[in-house]
A and B are shown apart, each in its own frame.
Chain A
Amino acid sequence: MSVSHVPTSDAANVRLVANRVLVTLLCAGLLAAWLLPFATMSPNRLASGQTVGLSAALSAWQMSALLVLCAVLAIAALRRPLPRGLAHGVVLLASLGLLLITLYSLGDYAQRTLAEKSPSARVSQGAAFWVMVFCCALAAIDAFQRAASGWLLRLGYMLIAGGSVAMLFASGHFDDLSIIREYANIRDNFSDQFITHLVLVGSALGPALLIGIPLGLLAHRHVRLQGTLFSVLNFFQTIPSIALFALLVAPLSALGNAFPLLGEWGVKGIGAAPAIIALVMYALLPVVRNTYAGLKGVPPATVEAARGMGMTARQVLWRVEIPLALPVMLSGLRIVTVQAIGLTVVAALIGAGGLGAFIFQGLGQYAIDLVLLGAIPTIVLAVIADFTLQMLVVLSKPAGTR
């Protein structure tokens, strides 16, 4: 991430605004808050309701807190009076505050409004809410990049932000929101499908690594194999997920019918078997490619030196090549994990379950809350997996090169 691009010429020094990104985000957020609905109020779960603007939804103190925080952010974006380092810290705190105020206000609005309404009435979040949350997140990300802060600080910030939001949820503050009521209805089913989702991803990653890493080694040792191997694996990646899932349904159901014993083990046209096979096929290319690229990146002189010290071929592989290739191999794992979490959504269409089941069920009934209950956890899961594996990649690099 290049921070060095930030202009430092004399022309930039006389500018009033030091952080144009923050100003843009602030304007976008305020414009959305002004023009778009903050919340929607509907008579029941499926009916479309009337929209409520920000000024009508927020109480006086919430509105003033929001405006104060916006003003703080605006000042932090100026060249004076705050010095740059302090400004970044202020932006981080203010955007977290803004995020929490936005979330709190939504829950509070739902509580206040629904107190005197029929039990079937629902309050859900509107477009302005999403834009405001999005702008807060972007402001924080930008501040981290400008401050060029380390991973530990980022992790700490994310934990604090995530912890505060989780505490708001746990305290029951959001219980009146439509999406949380929907969640309460399907609580047991939700945890089942969530676990199914993770199990599907896990049971695809295992075989993918077991097959992919040796294939990567093979490609590294036998140069002639590479073209064919990578072409075939690229073909798998190119085929749209739903088509690959669907194409596996026919042969597997034939197999399950022909050999009842296999059918009893779960080899059927519909369900987990075609899903896992398709996920493995998708996962192979990144695993093989990154194993190959990682091994190729090991300096030949290092391998030569290891051989010269009398290491056997096996020792060279395990003690020199694989440790040095590990960061690249782990970034392959990261790509595959994130990809598998996303593709498992589609697997719900062939009856494998997982969070995608809520998405497609919700789309079928036009129950938007159900759709979001499937989509948002999937996205959060993918982002968390990405972040965690990125940290592992950093940690796996040799100490001198981090």
Chain B
Amino acid sequence: MSVSALSRAPSSRRVLLIALSALLIALVLGMEQLAPLFRALFPDQDPAMYQRESFLNLTLAHLALVLVSSLISVSVGVAAGLFVTRPAGREFEPLVSTLAAIGQTFPPAAVLAIVVPIAGFGFVPTLVALVLYGLLPVVQNTVAGLGTVPSQTLEAARGNGMSAWQILWRIELPLAMRVIIAGVRVSVIINIGTATIGSTVGAKTLGTPIIAGLVGNNLPYVIQGAVLVGLLAIVTDLAFERLEQRFSFGASGAAS
């Protein structure tokens, strides 16, 4: 990966996104083809390729976990953010904002661990932890994004005779969208990482080969899982970056 390819120019970012996505798909589908390479690099390891589960299945399970949890976090988070910025819920805004800020200081791994006594092992506790943790950046950024809408703009919309709903849908949400998406980006990236740790509480994710490799002292397993999940996170982040640019207005970024 050349350093110049990482620079800010949008076209090279797009090339990078496409190249890394292709690499990710190729590795997910064809990791088995690399078995000779791993055997050459680690001659002492007998099974040099994780085979208890196909990497496609692990990746899909990982994505399902992140997708379901993110959908819940985003819908609940945006709804909560909207509620505390309307007149009816404004009283709750300071508390909700503080809660979102304090909650994010909690280590994700600790949150995952605390959910286990309540929800047991496996998919469900990981999902609960992901939803709870994913909520916080979404709420925070929804409140912040709606707060950036200039009061003159709202005043002008009201003066034009728009109803509260129209103002929300046509003015506030479009203007706040970039900041909200930035919150979703943080939430999804953290969740990809926390889902990986979820394999320690029995969820099937790309972290499963990593943990199996660390426990069984099998470095090839560790590398296979880590490369895939690292790529997955980077590709997702780059995709969100493009999405954010699409929603920026004015001088802060050209719509592409």
Tell me the A residues contacting B by CB distance below 8 Å.
1-3, 5-7, 19-21, 24, 127, 138, 141-142, 145-146, 227-228, 231-232, 234-235, 238-244, 246-247, 249-250, 253, 269, 338, 341-343, 345-346, 349-350, 356, 359-360, 362-363, 366, 368, 371-372, 374-376, 378-379, 382-383, 385-386
Q: Are B110 and A375 in contact (CB under 8 A)?
A: yes
Interface of B, helix, strand, loop or mixed by DSSP: helix
* Cα–Cα distance between A75 and B197 once the two chains are bound (Å): 46
- In the complex, chain B residues whose CB is within 8 Å of the CB of A232: 3, 6
Q: Which interface class (under 10, 10 to 19, 20 to 34, 35 or more) fits B?
A: 35 or more
- In the complex, chain A residues whose CB is within 8 Å of the CB of B110: 342, 345, 359, 374-376, 378-379
- In the complex, chain A residues whose CB is within 8 Å of the CB of B117: 368, 371-372
- In the complex, chain A residues whose CB is within 8 Å of the CB of B174: none
- In the complex, chain B residues whose CB is within 8 Å of the CB of A231: 6-8
Contacts known (A142-B94, A228-B4, A246-B222); A239 close to B233, Cβ less than 8 A: yes
Q: Are B230 and A21 in contact (CB under 8 A)?
A: no
Q: Is B187 an interface residue (CB 8 A)?
A: no
- In the complex, chain A residues whose CB is within 8 Å of the CB of B116: 363, 368, 371
Contacts known (A127-B118, A242-B193, A242-B207); A6 close to B90, Cβ less than 8 A: yes
Q: Is B145 an interface residue (CB 8 A)?
A: no
Look across to chain A and name the residue whose beta carbon is closest to the beta carbon of B6. A231
- B106 in complex: contacting residue of A141, A146, A363, A379, CB < 8 Å: A379
- In the complex, chain B residues whose CB is within 8 Å of the CB of A356: 109
Within the complex, the shortest CB–CB distance from B77 to chain A, in Å, comes to 18
Q: Is B161 an interface residue (CB 8 A)?
A: no
Q: Is B114 an interface residue (CB 8 A)?
A: yes
Interface of A, helix, strand, loop or mixed by DSSP: helix
* Cα–Cα distance between A243 and B237 once the two chains are bound (Å): 16
Q: Is B214 an interface residue (CB 8 A)?
A: yes
Look across to chain B and name the residue whose beta carbon is closest to the beta carbon of A356. B109
Q: Are A5 and B90 in contact (CB under 8 A)?
A: yes
Interface hub of B4, B110, B226, B233 (most chain A Cβ within 10 A): B110
Q: Are A243 and B230 in contact (CB under 8 A)?
A: yes
Q: Are A360 and B230 in contact (CB under 8 A)?
A: no
Q: Is B81 an interface residue (CB 8 A)?
A: no
> When A and B form their complex, which 6 residue pairs have the shortest distance between CB atoms, in order from nearest?
A342-B107, A240-B193, A227-B8, A243-B226, A231-B6, A375-B110
How would residues 99 to 132 of chain B score, 1 for a CB under 8 Å from any chain A CB and 0 otherwise? 1001001111110011011100100000000000
Look across to chain B and name the residue whose beta carbon is closest to the beta carbon of A378. B110
Contacts known (A250-B219, A342-B110); A145 close to B95, Cβ less than 8 A: yes
Q: Can you spell out 24 A-B residue pairs with CB atoms less than 8 angstroms apart?
A: A1-B98, A5-B94, A19-B91, A146-B94, A227-B6, A232-B3, A240-B229, A240-B230, A243-B196, A243-B229, A246-B226, A338-B105, A342-B108, A345-B110, A349-B214, A359-B109, A359-B113, A363-B200, A368-B116, A376-B110, A376-B114, A378-B109, A379-B106, A385-B105
